[in-house]
Every structure is written in structure tokens, then in C-alpha cells.
Structure 1
Amino acid sequence: MNYGYIRGSTGDVDKENQRKTISAIAKKRGLKINFIEDTVSSGKSFEQRQISTLIEQARKDDLILVAELSRFARDTEETLKIGRLALEKGINLEILNPSIRFDNSIATKAIITVMGLSSEMERYFIKSRTKISLQHRKELIKKNGFFRNKDGEKVYQLGAKKGKKQTLKLEPKKEIIYDYLSKGLSKVSICKLLSNEKDGKISRGALDRFLKRFPFDGQKILFK
């Protein structure tokens, strides 16, 4: 199966441009494309976007074409994460602009190595800038008793005040979720079963957040 992944807001002209780019390549290669459209903002995590569902549902040797890297992932680290998931399943993932292909070739291994190094460097620089900024703020608090944030407001202590842990939307459904998991249902299937008119659509991200706080260990019901 061959897929074309495009992302943008409803009515976005760029979505049509992405479709045309993928269609042109598909026509040149003699491929029939099934388009998957995503309207979720790039600010949302990978797990909350349609590309996550597509990677999960695609099979070995399937091909996923993406017109633009900027419409595919938020940064280098996320690009690597999605690319590795595709490789683990034997899915061929190709980004057309810039030209990046994730398959079992030596070229792909070289790309992953370079992108991995780039990602490490990004994290190092961010960590360094954060450390320097934190130290500067500590010095200002020690000297003046406060520092000013980006809005010009006075801040007298570092860090946010701890509040009551937010109740997750899916907590009332924990027994149902554990039951579904014990029966071997996939996360995508569970989200579809939990979605209804009252609660609306349950996203993969919401389910992941629930399981991160309340991990499933094989029991149908861990607690009442």
C-alpha cells in the first residue's frame, strides 16, 4: 500500500500543494496513492497526529510519501523518532523536500547518524543556554530580590508553585481501559471504542498520558 501524508489547517492552500507534489512523484513512478490528511497543529506531539496512526496501521514494505519535512515533524529529534518507528516495522518512509528516505539502505544509516548527532548538539546548546539563563536569574534574585520575566513582570522565586495534580479525562474509564488492554486491543482501537457523543473523540495522546500515570501491568482491574 502507498500512502501520501499531508498536514495543514482546513482550507489551507499548502495542503493542495502538498497533494500535487506527492501526486506528481506517484505518477512518475506509476504508484497509486491513498492520501491521509491531518489538520492537527505541529505544536501537538507526534502521538496526537495522524502520522502516528498511519505508522501504527501501515504494514511491512508499505510506502509513505511526505511532501514537506516541516509538515511532518517538529524538529530533528521527532523526525528521527518517527523514522526509526517506520524502520522497525519495515515501512518505507520518504520525505520529498528536503530529500530524506528511511529504508534499509546504507544511505539511511548515514542520515540517521548525522541527524542523531545534530539532535545531540541541539540538546546540548539548549541545555547550556538554559543553565546560563538560570544562573543569571539566581544572581539577580540574590542581588535585587527579583528578576523580570519576558513580560517585564517581577518574579521573586524560581520554579512554579506545586498545585493539585490534575485529574485526567480518562481516569473514570480506567477499568474499561484495562479490560480492553487485557484483551489485546491496540491503542487506536481503544480510542475509537472510548470515543462517543458525550466525551467526544478520545485522542491517542490522552490515552498515552493516562497509561503513563497509571501503567497497565496485565491485570484487568488494578484499583477501584
Structure 2
Amino acid sequence: MKIGYIRVSTVKQATQGTSLETQEEALKAAGCERLYIDRGKSGASVDRPELTRMRSSLREGDEVVVSKLDRFGRNLRDTLALIDEFTQAGVGFSSLAEGIKTDNSPTGKLMLNVFASFAEFERDRIAERTAEGIEKAKQAGKKFGRPEADHTEQIQKLSEIEFKYPRMTVSEKAKQLDVSVATYHRIRRAREALALTP
């Protein structure tokens, strides 16, 4: 039996885009009788429940078909490990876009390694370009992450509490400020930073 596997990276792609439809059409045209679809999952994600379900349902003589190799996985080692698992179980693997069809011939194995390598290379290049973009934005003054909270009023209140009750414990001070102990420590660090500012 031919079994199709589909992965769409985002929920939006899965419900509104053409990516899901395109993959479904290609796999049905290739003769797939059953489809497994992981929605909102990246190729690098280990949490792909439909892939897990598909793997447990495979029987000797089945063939797993994907529309493109990067829909199956973007990590070379994991992709090859899965295909090796299929091979050991007597299950075939095909990727339509690249024309890959695993068998025991040297040509089939060579093609698989080459195309999986290119898929991983492209993923690494995307990550590299993203990191370069973030670095340029930082150099231009753009800030990333959660914005710093304004603790001005809490700093003033903390100073008053510490002046009036010098022996009060940290948890008691946090309770007086109506914050968690972790936030209390952030307020103290913010006060120290202000004290060091010229």
C-alpha cells in the first residue's frame, strides 16, 4: 500500500494556504491510499504525532510517499534514520519532487544522501540568514525580547519598607510589594542599576 505523509509548518498553512492542498493532490495522484497530516509542525520537531502514528501502522511491502523531501524532515541524520528504519522493515520510501525512490541499489542510496544533504544545507542557510538579520537589527539599535518593566514606584516603596523594617525577610518584603520573590529580586537589581547610573 502507498501511504502519504504531509507536513505543513504553520496552522495558517494547514487551514488557509495552498501547501496542504498541493501536497494532498500530488500524493493522491501518486496513488496514495492513506494520508497522515501533521499540521503546524516544523521539520525539526520531534513531536509529530501523525508521523508516529504512520510509523506504527506500516507493514512490510508498504511505501511511504512525500511530495518533497523537506516535507518529511530537514535534518539529515534523522531523515536517513527514518528511511533506514523503513528499509529494515521492508518499507519503501519515495519523494516525488526530487524523484527519489529508495531501493537497495547504489544509485538509490547515493541520490537519497545527496538530496537529504541539500535539504539540511538549505535549512542551515535560512538559520544563518536569520541570525545575520537579527545581528544587523541589533547594531541598528533594535531591541529584542521582552521589554523591561518600569519598577520606579516599586523601587521607592521597597526603599521605604527596608528603611522602616530592616529585619524583614525577603518573602515578607515581596508580600508587602504584592509581587513574587523573583520579581522582588528584579526590583532590587533595577534599583542597583539606577544607583550605578551616573
What TM-score does the superposition give when structure 2 sets the normalisation length? 0.51
Alignment correspondent of 2:50: 50
Alignment correspondent of 1:17: 22
Larger Rg: 2
Deviation at 1:43, TM superposition (A): 5.2
Alignment correspondent of 1:108: 108
Deviation at 1:87, TM superposition (A): 1.0
- Counterparts in 2 of 1:71 and 1:115: CA distance versus 1, 3 Å: closer
Alignment correspondent of 2:35: 35
- Counterparts in 2 of 1:102 and 1:52: CA distance versus 1, 3 Å: farther
The one-letter code sitting in structure 2 at the alignment partner of 1:7 is R
Deviation at 1:24, TM superposition (A): 1.8
What TM-score does the superposition give when structure 1 sets the normalisation length? 0.45
**Structure-2 separation of matches of 1:115 and 1:15:** 22
Q: Is the 2:44–2:75 contact (alpha carbons within 8 Å) kept by the matching residues of 1?
A: no
1:123-138 correspondence to structure 2 within 5 Å? none
Q: Is the 2:43–2:72 contact (alpha carbons within 8 Å) kept by the matching residues of 1?
A: no
SS of 1:80's equivalent in the other structure is helix
Deviation at 1:98, TM superposition (A): 1.4
Bigger fraction of residues in helix:
2
CA RMSD of aligned residues (A): 3.2
The percentage of counterpart residues that share the same residue type is: 24
User: How many residue pairs are counted as aligned between the two chains?
Assistant: 123
**Structure-1 separation of matches of 2:85 and 2:63:** 13
Is 1:59 aligned with 2:64? no
List alignment gaps of at least 5 residues for structure 1: 27-31, 130-148, 154-224
Deviation at 1:73, TM superposition (A): 0.7
1:1-224 correspondence to structure 2 within 5 Å? 1-8=1-8, 9=11, 10-11=14-15, 12-26=17-31, 33-42=33-42, 44-46=44-46, 48-112=48-112, 114=114, 118=117, 150=135, 151=138
Deviations 1:157-199 (A, max 9, x none): xxxxxxxxxxxxxxxxxxxxxxxxxxxxxxxxxxxxxxxxxxx
Deviation at 1:34, TM superposition (A): 0.8
- Counterparts in 2 of 1:43 and 1:97: CA distance versus 1, 3 Å: closer
SS of 1:94's equivalent in the other structure is strand
The one-letter code sitting in structure 1 at the alignment partner of 2:19 is D
The one-letter code sitting in structure 1 at the alignment partner of 2:76 is T
Deviations 1:120-159 (A, max 9, x none): x96xx99xx9xxxxxxxxxxxxxxxxxxx94469xxxxxx
List alignment gaps of at least 5 residues for structure 2: 129-133, 142-198
SS of 1:108's equivalent in the other structure is helix
The one-letter code sitting in structure 2 at the alignment partner of 1:87 is T
**Structure-1 separation of matches of 2:29 and 2:69:** 17
